[in-house]
Amino acid sequence: MFDVIKSDLEVLEEGLLAAVSSENDLVTEVGTHLVTSGGKRIRPALCLLSAHGGPSFELSHVLPLAEALELIHTASLVHDDVIDEADTRRGAETANARWGNQVAILSGDYIFARAFHLIANQGYGEYISMRLAELVCNLSVGEIIQDHAVYQASRGMADYYDRIQKKTADFLEICCELGALVGGASPEAAAKLAAYGHDIGMAFQITDDLLDIEQTSEKIGKPAGNDIRQGIVTLPVIRALETSPAADELRAIVTDMDMTDEMVARALDIVKSTDAVEFAKQKADEYLAHAKAVLPEDLPDEIREAYIMVADFIGDRDF
């Protein structure tokens, strides 16, 4: 997908390993485990791609930013796993499962701080530090909001879009915007790439939420309907609550903190018997179409093609 930045991403891997290494062996071990546990590097890839399109692109100059973005994502997942008491992520053992909550919480703090350390002395200017700090603020607040909105079917579409913006779209937006700025893009070009990042972020999260409804358990490696079970009301469910003749039954299930497996299966059936899946797919497609349309006009061809491929990849996502 990312041929144009393939070699950049290889250098990035080394940088990530260097960034999490410490005088303390345990800290290095935990950090190494975390950054080598199969992240897809979507965030640094978008950052690097956006920098490439700029007139003053220099790999060594943008790499610390790309690494910092991946480290912030990593640290945030480490803390999420402690909160969710998760044992595995992407097939690998979580830090809390292997080393306990104490090491996991502190390693997350360490990795957050390493991200801010990485970008501190690169001459990026204050705006970039401010945006990254804002990002971590918003991720934390977004997570608190999501976890306090569970089992509340009353929250509608607007609330859903607000939540996924904080959870995913803001992050991808920042990756594109800051990458563009560090690559020397004009404020106008950076703003367009920021809009692109926002839109694919929205599509990415809608698609991710759809997978939880659509796919069989075997395919996604976790039980289907997991969001419903956890009380997280996503777009297809919200659509079904608005349109299904069985809306009352669905509402009773998704707001029940003690729902059984049978109830989850029934909820999935109700959602699938409406146009909710199609509706959500169409929303994702609208975001992707908008993402492609908003790209700056004067991008080098290979960069533009990469952006289009990323958007198409998100639309076709099927795993």
Cα angle, residue 276 at apex, residues 272 and 279 outer, rounded to 5°: 140
Using CB under 8 A, which of the segments 43-51, 97-105, 263-271, 282-290 binds a second copy? 97-105
Nearest to residue 96, comparing CAs of 19, 43, 167, 33? 33
Q: What's the min distance (Å) between Cβ of 159 and a second copy?
A: 13
Using CB under 8 A, which of the segments 5-13, 22-30, 200-208, 305-313 binds a second copy? 22-30
Q: Does 29 bind a second copy (CB under 8 A)?
A: no
Using CB under 8 A, which of the segments 98-106, 222-230, 287-295, 308-316 binds a second copy? 98-106
Taking CB under 8 A as the criterion, which residues in 114-133 touch a second copy? Answer: 114, 116-117, 120-121, 123, 126-127, 129-130, 132-133
Q: Does 140 bind a second copy (CB under 8 A)?
A: yes
Both tokens of 316, joined, read 């076709």
Which of 3, 14, 134, 269 touches a second copy (CB under 8 A)?
Answer: 134
On the CB side of 183, how many CA atoms lie within 13 Å of its CA?
25
Total binding residues toward a second copy, as defined by CB under 8 A:
44
3 state SS of 92: strand
Cα angle, residue 84 at apex, residues 317 and 68 outer, rounded to 5°: 65
Nearest to residue 92, comparing CAs of 71, 76, 78? 78
Q: Does 176 bind a second copy (CB under 8 A)?
A: no
Which of 136, 220, 252, 309 touches a second copy (CB under 8 A)?
Answer: 136
Burial class (CB in 10 A: 0-12, 13-18, 19+), 260: exposed
d(CA 191, CA 176): 9
Q: Which residues pair with 89 in a beta bridge?
A: 92
Q: Does 151 bind a second copy (CB under 8 A)?
A: no
Q: What is the contact surface with a second copy in residues (CB under 8 A)?
A: 22-24, 26-27, 76, 79, 82-83, 101-103, 105-110, 112-114, 116-117, 120-121, 123, 126-127, 129-130, 132-137, 139-141, 143-145, 147-148
